[in-house]
Chain A
Amino acid sequence: MKERPYADPYLAGVALGLVLLASFAIAGRGLGASGAFAATAAGLTNAVAPARAAANPLWSRYLAGGGPWREWLLFELAGVVIGGFVSALLAGRSRRTIERGPRMSGRARIACAAGGGMLMGFGAILARGCTSGLALTGGALLAVGSWLFIGAAFFAAYLFAPLLRRAWR
């Protein structure tokens, strides 16, 4: 199947904004991603070492209430995976590949992906959110910390981008 082109970015952005707006109106909260990772980490820690999880001030937050496996963001992120899969399938973009720059080996790309992911994990915990839950959601609600996070993240990304130019260009 031939790959179909991506949607117009402004149109896709408006659609994304309407999803976010629907979330505000229906669920009383915005979107997110990193919270689902934290809930999973809390849940797994709790399964392996319950005493340790309960004593940890970060994990214990996710153990309260309905518990980590009933966390709203966990179901939302499961939906993201389903939605992404269906969209890619319908557009003929679903196939097993490593996306990388012309001069970068697959192994180097995977190492960068995992290493960058680890840094984002640290940053998202410290900042209490990521591009979805803090930047997008709080950006639309004019939260001070969200705009600070957007500025800091883009600043650091542009600062480090020249060092990684060889990877992508």
Chain B
Amino acid sequence: MSDSLLIALAIGVAFGFALERAGLGSARKLAGQFYLTDLTVFKVMFSAIVTAMLGAFWLARLGIVDLSRVYVPETWLVPQLVGGLVFGAGFVIAGLCPGTSCVAAAAGRVDGVAVVGGMFAGVLVTGFLFPSLQSLYDTTGRGAQTLPQLLHVSYGVVVCAVVAMALAGFRAAEWLENRT
């Protein structure tokens, strides 16, 4: 196994460990997000985004990490809007997402195994239908566009806005959970 694949394995172990510790291997806990009784999904996801975003911002500022060498997911507006809508519907029906379904399966949950199997079947079928989907798949590409580029503001301004939004979201999440 090459170094890069060993690193992939090690990063994956840490990722899976963190997801399980947070309780995200539990479909019941994830479902709570959508009935506003347990907002763990939101809290974990946005603390992770804020942490990695601030870390990347400061490591780049201090010249420790070259952000231009980090792969930024490409933007394809219509496919990601349509794909996101279908994905969200699937997420709430399944109660788990692709990554967390692997954690659920690893913890012995049979419903997690079923999500993994369904996900794989969905990917396989979509792959075979791909030639007829390709015109949709290849529309509205924007390359590795970022929010600061789209909004014509500095990177730091967007970072601050995301932090402010997350903090407001955390307050709202605590309020929702403590309602009687």
Contact = CB atoms under 8 A, between A and B. Distances in A.
B44 interface: yes
Interface residues of A, number: 123
B14 A37 contact: no
Given A6-B21, A9-B40, A19-B18, A99 B28 contact: yes
A126 interface: yes
Given A143-B73, A156-B89, A76 B116 contact: no
A64 interface: no
Given A120-B119, A127-B84, A110 B126 contact: no
28 contacts: A6-B40, A9-B43, A16-B18, A28-B71, A31-B15, A31-B99, A42-B127, A76-B8, A77-B102, A81-B105, A84-B16, A84-B104, A88-B108, A94-B108, A97-B110, A101-B31, A115-B118, A118-B121, A121-B123, A123-B83, A132-B98, A132-B99, A133-B73, A141-B73, A144-B142, A151-B84, A153-B91, A161-B35
B18 to A, nearest CB: 4
A142 B146 contact: yes
A158 B73 contact: no
A42 B124 CA distance: 8
A112 B95 contact: yes
Contact of A144 (B11, B26, B51, B150): B150
A13 B48 contact: yes
For chain B, what secondary structure do more than half of its interface residues adopt (helix, strand, loop), or is it mixed? Answer: helix
A63 interface: no
A9 to B, nearest CB: 4
Interface of A: 6-7, 9-10, 12-34, 37-38, 40-42, 45, 56-59, 70, 72-88, 91, 93-101, 106, 109-110, 112-161, 164-165, 167-169
Given A27-B8, A135-B45, A142-B53, A81 B121 contact: no
A38 B123 contact: yes
Interface string B1-20: 11011111111111111111
Given A88-B107, A114-B115, A148-B77, A59 B46 contact: no
Interface of B: 1-2, 4-23, 25-29, 31, 34-35, 39-40, 43-53, 55-56, 59, 64-65, 67, 69-77, 79-112, 114-128, 130-131, 133-134, 136-137, 142, 144-150, 155, 158-159, 162, 170
A113 B21 contact: no
Given A13-B43, A113-B114, 12 more contacts: A6-B29, A10-B43, A16-B22, A20-B52, A26-B11, A33-B102, A84-B16, A87-B21, A96-B109, A98-B111, A118-B122, A143-B144
